[in-house]
Amino acid sequence: MTVARVSIQTEDFDLQAEIAALRAGNPRVGAVCSFIGTVRDRNDGSDIASMELEHYPGMTEKAIESMIDEAHRRFDILGARVIHRVGLLQPLDQIMMVAVISAHRGESFRACEFLMDYLKTQAPFWKKEQTPEGARWVDARVADDAALSRWGITANNA
């Protein structure tokens, strides 16, 4: 069974099950690196009661698929999986997961960090935060030129 490389979904996910599916039946896997992002209760100095994430279906998946292709070109990895949730989320909820498998840990670590830097700075997501002052829409992408330049990416060509 082939595991989808990208899932944009409202429902939560089980890290253990996702990693088991990613590495299933592949005896070449010697390393798994994963990252889980969660909802914080504060952002930009304000309390956050909840957040709602939105995306453009089809466009978002295509953009993330393209970056996974780039990770395969740059690093000696055997596979990668990205899950990103959308919809209404509460503090402590899981927002997203990146998991990478490879024969050796260094490649998994680098590829996971590469994908995380892309997701945090370039992936097309928007969020509405509920604060004591009311709701506010924010671009979920963070300007981080250092993260992008580490990989030779500029905001214009990502």
pLDDT over 70 (residue 13): yes
- For residue 158, the model assigns a pLDDT of 45
List pLDDT tens digits, range 65-84.
999 999 999 999 999 999 99
Taking the model in full, what pTM does it have? 0.87
Strands 6-9, 77-85: parallel, antiparallel or unpaired by DSSP? parallel
- Residue 141's pLDDT band, with cuts at 50, 70 and 90, is low
For 6-150, CATH gives: 3.90.1170.40
51, 109, 118 from 76: Cα distances, Å: 36, 11, 18
Q: Residue 152, by phi and psi: left (phi above 0), alpha (psi -120 to 50) or beta?
A: left
Mean pLDDT taken over the chain: 90
Domain residue spans of the chain: 6-150
- For residue 155, the model assigns a pLDDT of 67
> Which among 68, 93, 116, 129 has a CA at the least distance from the CA of 11?
93
Contact predicate 94/35, CB 8 Å: no
List pLDDT tens digits, range 87-137.
999 999 999 999 999 999 999 999 999 999 888 888 888 888 888 888 888
